Amino acid sequence: MSVNQSHAARTAEILLDIKAISFNTRDYFRLASGKCSPVYVDCRRIISFPKARTEIIRMMVDLIRERVGTDYFQNIAGGETAGIPFSALVANEMNLPMTYIRKKPKGYGKNARIEGLLGSGENTLLVEDLATDGGSKFSFVDAIRQAGGICQYSSVVFYYDIFPEANRKLQEHGIELLFLTNWEAILNSRNIKTLLSSNEINIVSTFLENPADWQKNNCG
């Protein structure tokens, strides 16, 4: 997986500007896993900023066109819940049908997991807001494949790109990740030194270099 440097830099600027990237180098953020982190990414904020939203979606579609070709896809899918607005925006920009995938079957009616129409053999792009280690994507990809769709690509705004096993897991699952930006681009952003002191940048960099060791030493 490689990154388009101009898209990565611009997306990083936008995310920092709308405060979709947060830093807390004193008290740290408490994650759902119970572990702590000096950084937190909230790409859901993008949908509340029309100009940022429009620019990011257009860059995402440009990346899809550059790496795969927009004619390859017949369907755009989003995972519940964060992927739904992003997949809708991408589907609209590409003028393609959209579906969304529930985390679990809804438990009544047709007990569907996929909402919308997904034809057998349709090349389907899974669109999400971000990817950490890639693991949360596999359930959605499997659901698409079980329904007869073909899913070899997932597109996200932000990829953590700090977990060595993530790329291997994605490859083993037959998924290529198309991402706009990552932590390297954030730390290289021209805006970062206006937001963080040198000491704060050092704390964040130490965490990103080895999250597991950092958490063992700092999360109590």
CATH number at residue 124: 3.40.50.2020
Mean pLDDT of the 102-122 span: 83
**Residue 108, pLDDT score:** 63
Instruction: Please give the Cα distance from 12 to 21 (Å, whole number).
Output: 9
Domain-located, residue 211: yes
* Residues constituting the chain: 220
Structure-token pair, residue 196: 């963080």
Mean pLDDT of the 105-121 span: 81
Element (DSSP H or E) covering residue 145: helix 135-146
Predicted confidence band of residue 176 (pLDDT cuts 50, 70, 90): very high
Per residue in 18-57, pLDDT tens?
Answer: 999 999 999 999 987 788 999 999 999 999 999 999 999 9
Mean pLDDT of the 114-118 span: 95
Tell me what percent of the residues of the chain surpass a pLDDT of 70. 96
The neighbour count for residue 138, using CB atoms within 10 Å, is: 16
Per residue in 128-154, pLDDT tens?
Answer: 999 987 677 899 999 999 999 999 999
In sequence order, the β-bridge partners of residue 76 are 98, 125
Domain-located, residue 220: no
Q: What is the mean pLDDT of the chain?
A: 93
Mean pLDDT of the 1-10 span: 88
Domain-located, residue 33: yes
> Which residue type occupies 57?
I
Instruction: Please give the Cα distance from 137 to 153 (Å, whole number).
Output: 10
What is the reported pTM?
0.94
Domain-located, residue 17: yes
Instruction: Please give the Cα distance from 173 to 161 (Å, whole number).
Output: 17
Predicted confidence band of residue 171 (pLDDT cuts 50, 70, 90): very high
Domain-located, residue 170: yes
**Residue 107, pLDDT score:** 64
Total domain count, the chain: 1
Structure-token pair, residue 36: 């702590």
Domain-located, residue 105: yes
Instruction: Please give the Cα distance from 169 to 178 (Å, whole number).
Output: 15
Mean pLDDT of the 150-174 span: 93
* pLDDT over 80 at 211, yes or no: yes
**Residue 167, pLDDT score:** 87
Find the domain containing 66 and state its range: 5-215
